[in-house]
């Protein structure tokens, strides 16, 4: 896990996909989902697999979670879809992957590769092959996607006062490529992806700063939970309203944060608004089944 040596008075953690870059739709719809359908033999129910995966990764309170828990949740929703049951398609949950996730915090390919080598398990091997294929698809597909408006200006302004750390569930290689491509790397002291540990673990670096001077910027409930677990402030980038969220951040939230007026009523109003953007229940019908 990354160990930060403070250089400024303030700490900023910032997510990347869907928060700094408008890449969530592109990555999931063009890279993740086709590979889920291919590797998990969901061709016969591809429409429903796509809907379930989009709900989990883009349009629900699970938005932004690590790829492996997201894969399991997608398969679980498919098990509950009456259309899938009517077609007689058996959607199986890879239990060895579930078990591995329960004991591992660095949910990335390096840790999974070690587990595959140690166990030889077929389900874990398939998950690793799927994850590697996703990375290849992302490398081939995702390019030329600039940061949201006002991101660059915000980072440039904050870098004078804060140690900024990218805190993401995306693999490090993809993060470094995107931040270098758009010349944003110079504003951050570290880029921490899934190989660095969970977002909660990465944000533990904020303990070296005053709580009122530590802030996480994110677009998903998991980002807020990681911030709350470390007792630091949170600024939400509302899904679907990212441009307006960054404009508000630059126009007013930065000043409130730097001047000590962010905590309390101001943050609570932002969190209430954020809560309204993502549902817990899917738009499609489900039935109760035994996993």
pLDDT digits (tens, 9 = 90+) for 212-247: 999 999 999 999 999 999 999 999 999 999 999 999
- Give me the helices (H) in 32-104, please: 33-39, 46-57, 67-79, 82-86, 95-103
Same domain (yes/no): 266, 154: yes
Q: For residue 282, is it within any domain?
A: no
| Residue 263 falls inside a structural domain | yes
266 and 161 inside one domain: yes
pLDDT value at position 290? 56
Q: Is residue 108 part of a domain?
A: yes
Q: Could you tell me the pLDDT band of residue 113, with boundaries at 50, 70 and 90?
A: very high
Output 271-275 pairs: Cβ under 8 A, ≥24 positions apart.
271/224, 271/234, 271/236, 273/236, 273/238, 274/224, 274/236, 274/238
Same domain, 124 and 85: yes
- 288 located within any domain: no
What letters, b where the CB count within 10 A reaches 16 and e where it falls short, cover 122-161? ebbbbbbebbebbbebbeeebeebebbebbbebbeebbee
pLDDT at 276 over 80: yes
Say yes or no: 132 and 269 in one domain: no
Q: What is the pLDDT of residue 22?
A: 95
For the chain, the first-to-last Cα distance in angstroms comes to 34
Asked if residue 75 lies in contact with residue 41, where contact means CB atoms within 8 angstroms, the answer is: no
pLDDT at 209: 97
Residue 290 lies in a domain: no
Looking at residue 1, what is its pLDDT?
Answer: 65
How far, in whole angstroms, is CA 149 from its chain's centroid?
20
Which residues partner with 21 through β-bridges?
A: 17, 147
C-alpha distances out from residue 196 to 162, 169, 281, 289, Å: 21, 9, 31, 36
Last residue within a domain, chosen from 94, 122, 141: 141
| pLDDT of 99 | 98
Pick from 237, 235, 220: nearest CA to 267:
235
Among 115, 141, 167, where does a domain finish?
141
List strands edge to edge, sheet with 10-14.
190-192, 162-167, 10-14, 214-218, 233-236
Question: Residue 161 is part of a domain; what is its CATH number?
Answer: 3.40.50.1000
Domain of residue 252 covers 10-22+147-275
Q: Which pLDDT score, from 0 to 100, does residue 247 have?
A: 98
Q: Report, as an integer, the average pLDDT of 101-122.
A: 95
Q: How many domains does the chain have?
A: 2
Same domain? For 15 and 35 the reply is: no
> Could you tell me if 282 and 77 are in contact, meaning their C-beta atoms sit under 8 angstroms apart?
yes
| Same structural domain, 180 and 271 | yes
Question: Does residue 105 share a domain with residue 50?
Answer: yes
269 and 163: one domain?
yes
Q: Are 151 and 271 members of one domain?
A: yes
Residue 285 falls within a domain, yes or no? no
Q: pLDDT tens for residues 69-83?
A: 999 999 999 999 999
126 and 207 both lie in a single domain: no
Query: Of 191, 189, 263, which Cα lies nearest the Cα of 228?
Result: 263
- Tell me the two tokens of residue 237: 């980038």
Encoded tokens for 77: 């929703």
Residue 264: how many CA atoms within 13 Å on its side-chain side?
6
Q: Determine the Cα–Cα distance for residues 52 and 194; give it in Å rounded to an integer.
A: 23
Which residues have a Cβ under 8 Å from the Cβ of 213 and sit 6 or more positions away?
9, 10, 11
Residues 248 and 258 in one domain: yes
CB of 158 closer than 8 Å to CB of 14: no
| Assigned domain for 95 exists | yes
- Looking at 141, 168, 183, the residue that finishes a domain is 141
CA pair distance 266, 158, nearest whole angstrom: 19
Q: Domain check: are 41 and 109 in the same one?
A: yes
pTM of the model: 0.88
Average pLDDT, the chain: 95
DSSP H helical ranges for 142-286: 151-158, 172-181, 199-202, 221-229, 242-248, 254-258, 265-275
Average pLDDT over residues 255-281: 96
Pairing of strands 10-14, 214-218: parallel
Q: What is the pLDDT of residue 194?
A: 86
The answer to whether position 283 is within a domain reads: no
Per-residue pLDDT at 175: 95
Q: How many CB atoms lie within 10 A of CB 180?
A: 12
| pLDDT at residue 3, rounded to an integer | 86
């Amino acid at each position: 896990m990354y160990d930060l040596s403070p250089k400024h008075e303030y700490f900023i953690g910032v997510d990347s996909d869907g928060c700094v870059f408008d890449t969530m739709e592109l990555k999931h719809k063009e890279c993740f989902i086709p590979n889920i359908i291919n590797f998990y033999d969901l061709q016969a129910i591809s429409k429903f697999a796509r809907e379930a995966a989009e709900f989990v990764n883009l349009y629900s309170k699970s938005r932004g979670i690590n790829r492996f828990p997201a894969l399991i949740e997608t398969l679980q929703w498919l098990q509950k879809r009456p259309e899938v049951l009517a077609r007689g398609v058996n959607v199986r949950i890879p239990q060895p992957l579930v078990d591995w996730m329960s004991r591992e915090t660095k949910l990335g390919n390096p840790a999974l590769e070690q587990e595959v080598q140690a166990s030889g398990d077929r389900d874990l091997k398939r998950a690793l092959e799927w994850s590697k294929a996703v990375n290849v698809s992302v490398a081939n597909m995702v390019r030329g996607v600039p940061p949201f408006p006002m991101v660059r200006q915000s980072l440039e302004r904050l870098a004078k006062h804060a140690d900024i750390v990218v805190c993401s569930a995306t693999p490090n290689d993809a993060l470094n490529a995107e931040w270098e491509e758009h010349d944003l790397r110079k504003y951050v002291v570290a880029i921490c992806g899934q190989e660095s540990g969970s977002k909660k673990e990465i944000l533990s670096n904020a303990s070296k700063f005053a709580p009122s001077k530590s802030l996480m910027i994110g677009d998903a409930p998991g980002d807020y939970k990681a911030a709350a677990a470390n007792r630091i402030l949170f600024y939400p980038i509302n899904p679907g309203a990212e441009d307006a969220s960054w404009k508000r951040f630059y126009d007013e939230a930065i000043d409130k944060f730097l001047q000590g007026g962010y905590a309390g009523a101001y943050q609570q109003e932002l969190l209430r608004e954020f809560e309204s953007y993502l549902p817990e229940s899917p738009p499609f019908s489900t039935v109760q089944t035994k996993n």
